[in-house]
Amino acid sequence: MANKNNTSSSTPLLDQVKNPDDLKFLKIEDLDNLCSELRSDMINIVSKTGGHLGAGLGVVELAVAIHYVFNTPDDRLIWDVGHQAYPHKILTNRRDKMNTLRKAKGISGFTKRSESKYDPFGAGHSSTSISAALGMAVARDKLGRSNNVVAVIGDGAMSAGMAYEAINNAGALKTNLLIILNDNDMSIAPAVGGLSNYLSNVVSSRPFNNVREIAKQMVNFLPKEIGETAKRAENLARNFLSNSEGTIFSQMGMNYLGPIDGHDISSLVKILQNLKDGSNDKPILLHVVTEKGRGHPFSKNSHEKYHAVSEFNIITGDTVKSTSNAPTYTNIFSETLCKIAEKDDKILAITAAMPSGTGLNKFADKFKDRFFDVGIAEQHAVTFAAGMASEGLKPFVAIYSTFLQRAYDQVIHDVVIQKLPVRFMLDRAGFVGADGATHAGSFDLTYLCCLPDVVVMAPSNEAELAKMVFTSSNYSQGPIFCRYPRGEGVGVEIPNSLSDIEIGKGQIIHQGTGIAILSLGTRLSAALKVRDILKVEGCSITVADARFAKPIDEDLLIKLWNEHEKLIIIEEGSVGGFSSHCLHFLSSGGYLNQSGKEIRCLNMQDKFLDHASQTEQLAKAGLDVTGLLNIINDMVPFSNLNNKVVLS
């Protein structure tokens, strides 16, 4: 079929494809070249922006095949998580914007409804695609429509219970729904090749009354020495069907098909066309095997191939390194835990599919039999740890703040009510930059500080984090939480010998008069910079580090309130967290009934912030140095402060 624009054959195919409609004018034999161009384009883009490269490289052929066969956006396509959606975005009229990927006012790293009509459902956390797709399929049926609904879910996301809940429901409802299982946990297995692809094509093309009918089709495909023996063909067909019928998916009401080679674009297109055109009286699960990171430019093996990368040199594969020499909070946690575990064999570590992201890969290398990666199963991780703690072990559960939300009931019911000493390390607390609102650790202080009998800590720097990890290892009165941000520390020295921090006790870092800033977590660095700016102008303020969001250091809070005219409480968390509890304490105790005094709380804004750098997000929320100075400028008459300095 000729290209509708009669574009010269020398023009790259990808330049001819602005949206999925343009794909329809390409020949099937052109799709391999298109996939090569798409893969190269994606590598070039991510080398400049950073992002989730490996997953997207693995589904290039799958993305092309789906858009080639189905009529998106009328046919709904839901990508689970969104890590693998970059090829999809390039094909859906966003290629010219991909250089803004994960930057302020640019393209999101995940699917996003407000960004494109080709993103019918937003994603950021895993294992939601089947549930959402089933809801869309039921809505289609209720509204009398006839469009297709396709959900793509990775094998990693299938470790979450929610995926099986959705499959179980889908099997019972018996509606027309296509679920594509993107299996990239292994290289192409022997069973995945020409024969399997051929059988999947045959079986998907039309119904068969018995195995013998399939065998007749197989005879033409098999080598001569096998094809001449019809019985052998019949046995192969029977084995194929028995494997299909024996899967957990078929037992849950699905028509299972596969596995097929996810990089054989011709077979993919043919099978998807059969499934699209067929009359399906129940959901179909198509098992596609792909290679994660296929065509990745890195010349050496790297775990980065399999998830996210920073900006990198497209020739050497070397990542663009930070100019700072400060260690990351993640590394400080990991190194401290390993150091403590050498002397305490009761310490274990648990993560939910993020060993590298949480730093626990280092723990796993040293203490293999004490490390547990439970997959994308945060609920199980929490209750699993609770069981360990009930028997006297010391489990450390390292989970991103945003992902602990998925296990909130287990935190309350299985840990907090039973006062079990599970140690929770919440990485990526606060703003996370390029990953945006879905990954921001905005709410942990709010949803944890309301729980009775818990300890919630937030380090102001990397040395404080090391002390808090050590303190957690020795705390046995109940659950203890430590939340810390993404990124690098401030460059302070880590003490060789660690000691416990007294539970619920903060500290005054600098004593001044008039104005006091009580900071929780790493916003202390901004408070100290403000203190230095104002000191030059002859204004000495008090800066205190709360350390604990719960229990509140009531003595410190009363002291700061009674001894200063103005009090500012700052935290990198949503309204309802630490500062709200401080206000409740002061109000309930009658301390606020003093004339001439004023208190302000600086929190994250009551809205979701899109992806940008962490610095940009903090500035927008007013939680940086400028934000603090503006608040002080508003609280204190200009006669007491140098207007020029405050507003600079």
Q: Is 112 a catalytic residue?
A: no
Whole-Å CA distances, 329 to 99, 326, 357, 440, 525: 29, 9, 11, 16, 15
Letter for the amino acid at 69?
Answer: V
Q: Please classify residue 155 by burial: count the beta carbons closer than 10 Å to its beta carbon, then call 0-12 exposed, 13-18 middle and 19+ buried.
A: middle
Of 95, 305, 406, 566, which is the active-site residue? 406
Structure tokens at 351: 């993560």
Beta bridge partners of 181: 153, 287
Distance from C-alpha of 427 to C-alpha of 127, rounded to nearest angstrom:
21
Distance from C-alpha of 453 to C-alpha of 468, rounded to nearest angstrom:
18
Distance from C-alpha of 632 to C-alpha of 648, rounded to nearest angstrom:
13
Half-sphere exposure of 457 (CA within 13 A, CB side): 28
Question: Which single residue is written with the structure tokens 């459902």?
Answer: 121
User: Is 42:48 a contact under the CB 8 Å cutoff?
Assistant: no
Distance from C-alpha of 644 to C-alpha of 647, rounded to nearest angstrom:
5
Of 61, 115, 234, 378, which is the active-site residue? 378
User: Is 100:59 a contact under the CB 8 Å cutoff?
Assistant: no
How many helices and strands, by DSSP H and E, does the chain display?
26, 19
Total number of residues shown for the chain: 648
User: Is 183:212 a contact under the CB 8 Å cutoff?
Assistant: no
Q: Is 305 a catalytic residue?
A: no
Letter for the amino acid at 406?
Answer: R
Q: Is 232 a catalytic residue?
A: no
User: Is 519:546 a contact under the CB 8 Å cutoff?
Assistant: yes
Helix boundaries (H) for 221-289: 224-227, 230-245, 248-251, 265-277
Distance from C-alpha of 134 to C-alpha of 169, rounded to nearest angstrom:
8
Of 39, 102, 112, 292, which is the active-site residue? 292
464-468's contacts with Cβ under 8 Å and 24+ in sequence apart are 464/501, 464/545, 464/547, 465/329, 465/332, 465/333, 465/336, 465/489, 466/332, 466/336, 466/494, 466/495, 466/498, 467/495, 467/498, 467/499, 467/500, 467/501, 468/501
Hey, which residues are catalytic here? 292, 378, 406
